[in-house]
Structure 1
């Protein structure tokens, strides 16, 4: 399979998965409106998806560093979508947390292995990897529109329809995995580690990432409520505010993807 076609399919699959990262915050206003959850309960839903995903992802990263697991791409895509799709059925708060946590695990399982597959499929092209990253940002930013289109028309009982992007994303990855399976690399798909881990830089960078995530997740959780209260625009105002917030990330990634590259010294 041609490199460009592989990256297009993987980018589209990445978009389908990251829909479920953006869908969690987009669903929160509907949980509050339909089930009368408090803001604390609403933030717990976001915590269930985000915290478990963050804790689980290093495990999956360590696993795929040692043993390529390509089947994780379609399987984790389905799991990520299934958790969000089931979160709207029934009225049990613990069950809602459980479904959101399952979605978070699916998203966590997807990213390390998908990054490995994208590196192999791109044959080392930094620009291709940027476009793969952009796919995730597009799906993330589109999530509020998708959630509102489904839930605003029939309430949380229609949440099972949100499984559709996951089904599409899992199918999109299959041609790439089949192509890579027919043309395995000499090392079985694993990449040899270059140099040593720079733990000092990692420790310095981690607090900045943590602080950025706290601000972004906090804004994602409550910006829709703020927009609705300030504008009296209802669900549409909240959705628009969340979409603009997420779209900014996609635009930033798209800008980075157009930066010039020079050999292996490409800038991120």
Structure 2
């Protein structure tokens, strides 16, 4: 990575006719910064009990913090992606991480509730810039292996999300709100790494690698077919992220309620699930490159159903096995969904990435709120019995157009 991204190294566009290979140092760099980005976001969410105690916040005010973060982190992403599709901005990556840095500094010194809300919006704005542009870099660095590149990029975010609460428990809970300033050092590291990535991005933007990765290739679908396929993908995103919200937010409560385990044991079990999610994210992309994204998408989400349907009825040992399998299966869909959507809308990498990463954030937040309300109104066991059926919606993926067969047909026709 050092040789590819060192500030003093000379970077030239690849002008040769020989296809460039996958740029693993660049992919490693954006995966690492994805880890840092999502770790810092999850630290913010893990701080809610501290902020509630410091400022005597009501649950409604905690909800406002979440709304501010989700608004800037999810709703702005498609707009940022659409703008950068038309006007690529390689150096927006370190600038976006700079928003996160400023948000964390403000959060560490925030003296009232409005300052906390502003800090949350700045952290979310950093994500809005980071995800669409980093996804574009991953595609540019992929050398045609788009699924593998997306998996490498996304697995960093999965790891970061799992580290954040642990970091909050070890650093912020014992030392208080001011200790967030130490977490901002991760944002500074991210800025330095992304500056090197931006230099590579700018150098390759007009090269054969850049033109090939961002060209508007014909996928053989008309406008109606594209809208139909996007509608199916949105339904699958709903199924996937509502189910993940149930596990991420309430799995520990389910274990405590059903098996009467200690909180610490429940947290260990949650890490088993998160390990499954990271594994599935890493595997789903390259498998999609080999066998087709449609097969991975329906096999991943629908294939989760046997594990999810059995989860509410098995003992603790089998719960750990099944929750790992469920996490791995359902997480393997997202890299394939992103690349499939990019192929549906060629030349709109930023718009697609911003839309689907934004939806992932939004559905996760809405899912957590809705399922929490439902658990209050009924019981945590009822929520898990209900959520177990969500992966069955994966059956609609059968109706997605098969992009591989269309590509083969167009190639044969030529």
Q: Could you tell me the TM-score, scaled by structure 2's length?
A: 0.55
> CA RMSD, aligned part only?
3.3
Matching residue of 2:103: 83
Change (3 A) 1:43 1:134: same
Change (3 A) 1:21 1:242: farther
- Contact 2:145–2:289 (CA<8 Å) still a contact in 1? no
Change (3 A) 1:194 1:206: same
Matching residue of 1:154: 175
Matching residue of 2:164: 143
Matching residue of 1:201: 229
Partners of 1:71 and 1:140 in 2: CA distance? 25
- Greater mean alpha carbon deviation, residues 121-130 or residues 101-110: 121-130
* Correspondence 1:164 to 2:185: yes
3-state SS of paired residue (1:122): coil
In the alignment of these two chains, the number of paired residues is 265
Displacement of 1:50:
1.1
Matching residue of 2:143: 123
Partners of 2:242 and 2:125 in 1: CA distance? 19
If asked which structure has higher relative contact order (CA below 8 Å, sep 6+), I would say 1
Matching residue of 2:314: none
3-state SS of paired residue (2:141): helix
Structure 2 stretches lacking a partner, 5+ long: 5-21, 297-335, 337-414
- Contact 2:90–2:202 (CA<8 Å) still a contact in 1? no
Partners of 2:272 and 2:86 in 1: CA distance? 39
Pairing partner for 1:20 from 32, 36, 40: 40
Pairing partner for 1:9 from 23, 29, 34: 29
Partners of 2:78 and 2:286 in 1: CA distance? 29
Change (3 A) 1:227 1:36: farther
* Correspondence 1:44 to 2:64: yes
- Structure 1's consecutive aligned runs of 4 or more residues displaced over 4 angstroms after TM superposition are 210-233, 236-248
Larger gyration radius, structure 1 or structure 2: 2
- Contact 1:48–1:97 (CA<8 Å) still a contact in 2? yes
Matching residue of 1:192: 215
- Greater mean alpha carbon deviation, residues 83-92 or residues 48-57: 83-92
Matching residue of 1:96: 116
Matching residue of 2:279: 251
Partners of 1:225 and 1:173 in 2: CA distance? 38
3-state SS of paired residue (1:259): helix
Partners of 2:63 and 2:149 in 1: CA distance? 35
Matching residue of 1:57: 77
3-state SS of paired residue (1:19): helix
Query: Per-residue displacement from partner, 1:24-58 (whole Å, max 9, x unpaired)?
Result: 32111222343332333222222211122211001
Partners of 2:35 and 2:41 in 1: CA distance? 10
Partners of 1:64 and 1:119 in 2: CA distance? 14
Partners of 1:238 and 1:51 in 2: CA distance? 31
Partners of 1:48 and 1:151 in 2: CA distance? 22
Query: Per-residue displacement from partner, 1:77-104 (whole Å, max 9, x unpaired)?
Result: 1212431342242331121111101111
- Contact 2:31–2:153 (CA<8 Å) still a contact in 1? yes
Partners of 2:261 and 2:45 in 1: CA distance? 19
Partners of 1:38 and 1:245 in 2: CA distance? 31
Query: Per-residue displacement from partner, 1:134-193 (whole Å, max 9, x unpaired)?
Result: 112111221111222221221112112121111111212233332343444347946122
Query: Per-residue displacement from partner, 1:183-230 (whole Å, max 9, x unpaired)?
Result: 443479461223466112223332443465456557756778999998
